[in-house]
Amino acid sequence: MEIKHRPRFQKETIGVDVFINWDGSNPNELGDKLIHCNTKNLKLVVISNRGVKVYPHGMPETFCTDHWRCRFEQPEGKAISHGDIIELLGNVDKAGFDFIKTENLCTFEGKKGYTLAQGQ
Protein backbone atom coordinates (compact mmCIF):
# COMPACT_ATOMS: atom_id res chain seq x y z
CA MET A 1 0.00 0.00 0.00
CA GLU A 2 1.37 3.37 -1.00
CA ILE A 3 1.04 6.27 1.44
CA LYS A 4 -0.05 9.47 -0.20
CA HIS A 5 1.03 12.69 1.42
CA ARG A 6 -1.36 15.61 1.38
CA PRO A 7 -0.08 19.12 0.93
CA ARG A 8 0.03 21.14 4.16
CA PHE A 9 -2.42 23.99 4.46
CA GLN A 10 -1.43 27.41 5.71
CA LYS A 11 -2.71 27.59 9.28
CA GLU A 12 -2.90 30.80 11.31
CA THR A 13 -4.17 31.32 14.84
CA ILE A 14 -6.22 34.54 14.96
CA GLY A 15 -7.90 34.28 18.36
CA VAL A 16 -8.80 32.13 21.31
CA ASP A 17 -11.89 31.03 23.17
CA VAL A 18 -11.31 31.18 26.92
CA PHE A 19 -13.79 29.13 28.91
CA ILE A 20 -14.41 30.51 32.37
CA ASN A 21 -16.10 29.08 35.44
CA TRP A 22 -17.92 32.06 36.95
CA ASP A 23 -20.81 31.98 39.42
CA GLY A 24 -22.20 35.38 38.47
CA SER A 25 -25.38 35.69 36.47
CA ASN A 26 -25.01 39.04 34.67
CA PRO A 27 -23.15 38.68 31.35
CA ASN A 28 -22.71 42.46 31.13
CA GLU A 29 -20.85 42.44 34.45
CA LEU A 30 -18.59 39.66 33.19
CA GLY A 31 -17.97 41.38 29.88
CA ASP A 32 -17.20 44.73 31.51
CA LYS A 33 -14.57 43.02 33.68
CA LEU A 34 -13.07 40.93 30.88
CA ILE A 35 -12.61 43.93 28.59
CA HIS A 36 -9.86 45.01 30.98
CA CYS A 37 -8.06 41.75 30.17
CA ASN A 38 -7.69 42.76 26.50
CA THR A 39 -4.18 42.90 25.15
CA LYS A 40 -2.68 44.77 22.23
CA ASN A 41 -3.46 41.82 19.93
CA LEU A 42 -6.52 40.20 21.51
CA LYS A 43 -9.87 41.90 22.16
CA LEU A 44 -13.05 40.49 23.69
CA VAL A 45 -15.57 40.00 20.89
CA VAL A 46 -18.40 37.92 22.33
CA ILE A 47 -19.42 35.88 25.36
CA SER A 48 -21.74 32.92 25.00
CA ASN A 49 -23.36 30.59 27.48
CA ARG A 50 -24.88 27.23 26.49
CA GLY A 51 -24.24 28.23 22.85
CA VAL A 52 -26.20 31.49 23.02
CA LYS A 53 -24.63 34.92 22.67
CA VAL A 54 -25.11 36.80 25.93
CA TYR A 55 -22.61 39.68 25.52
CA PRO A 56 -22.68 42.22 24.04
CA HIS A 57 -26.37 42.89 23.55
CA GLY A 58 -27.65 39.55 24.81
CA MET A 59 -31.23 38.90 25.83
CA PRO A 60 -31.66 39.29 29.60
CA GLU A 61 -34.06 36.33 29.82
CA THR A 62 -31.37 33.86 28.65
CA PHE A 63 -30.77 31.23 31.33
CA CYS A 64 -27.03 31.05 32.04
CA THR A 65 -24.93 28.43 33.81
CA ASP A 66 -21.50 28.92 35.41
CA HIS A 67 -19.67 27.91 32.18
CA TRP A 68 -18.90 30.91 29.93
CA ARG A 69 -17.16 30.94 26.55
CA CYS A 70 -15.31 34.22 26.07
CA ARG A 71 -14.02 34.82 22.55
CA PHE A 72 -10.99 37.03 22.04
CA GLU A 73 -9.84 37.82 18.51
CA GLN A 74 -7.16 39.82 16.79
CA PRO A 75 -9.19 42.83 15.53
CA GLU A 76 -7.70 42.79 12.04
CA GLY A 77 -7.81 39.01 11.65
CA LYS A 78 -4.02 38.77 11.65
CA ALA A 79 -2.05 35.89 13.10
CA ILE A 80 -1.22 35.89 16.81
CA SER A 81 1.41 34.00 18.76
CA HIS A 82 1.26 31.64 21.70
CA GLY A 83 2.83 34.49 23.67
CA ASP A 84 -0.24 36.63 22.89
CA ILE A 85 -2.49 33.92 24.35
CA ILE A 86 -0.26 33.53 27.41
CA GLU A 87 -0.38 37.29 27.99
CA LEU A 88 -4.19 37.24 27.77
CA LEU A 89 -4.47 34.29 30.16
CA GLY A 90 -2.17 36.09 32.60
CA ASN A 91 -4.54 39.06 32.52
CA VAL A 92 -7.57 36.80 33.03
CA ASP A 93 -5.83 35.18 36.00
CA LYS A 94 -4.84 38.55 37.52
CA ALA A 95 -8.48 39.67 37.19
CA GLY A 96 -9.41 36.72 39.42
CA PHE A 97 -11.18 34.51 36.88
CA ASP A 98 -10.95 30.72 36.84
CA PHE A 99 -10.24 29.77 33.23
CA ILE A 100 -10.85 26.08 32.71
CA LYS A 101 -10.14 25.53 29.03
CA THR A 102 -8.96 27.29 25.90
CA GLU A 103 -9.50 26.63 22.21
CA ASN A 104 -7.43 28.36 19.57
CA LEU A 105 -9.29 29.96 16.68
CA CYS A 106 -7.48 29.05 13.48
CA THR A 107 -7.85 29.73 9.81
CA PHE A 108 -6.75 27.31 7.09
CA GLU A 109 -5.82 28.88 3.78
CA GLY A 110 -7.66 31.98 5.01
CA LYS A 111 -10.90 30.13 5.80
CA LYS A 112 -12.24 29.91 9.35
CA GLY A 113 -11.73 26.53 10.95
CA TYR A 114 -14.17 27.26 13.75
CA THR A 115 -17.83 28.14 14.08
CA LEU A 116 -19.14 31.58 14.88
CA ALA A 117 -21.09 32.10 18.05
CA GLN A 118 -24.84 32.40 17.62
CA GLY A 119 -25.52 36.03 16.76
CA GLN A 120 -21.86 36.77 15.97
CB-CB neighbours of 59 under 10 Å: 10
Q: Indicate the length of the chain as a whole number.
A: 120
Could you tell me what percentage of the chain is helix, strand and coil, using 3-state DSSP and rounding each to the nearest 5?
Answer: 20, 35, 45
Q: Pinpoint the alpha helices (H) of 18-116.
A: 27-34, 82-94
Neighbour tally for 66: CB within 10 Å = 12
pLDDT of 47-106, one tens digit each?
Answer: 999 989 999 999 888 999 999 999 999 999 999 999 999 999 999 999 999 999 999 999
- Domains parsed from the chain with CATH numbers: 11-109 (3.30.70.1570)
Indicate whether 118 pLDDT > 80.
Answer: no
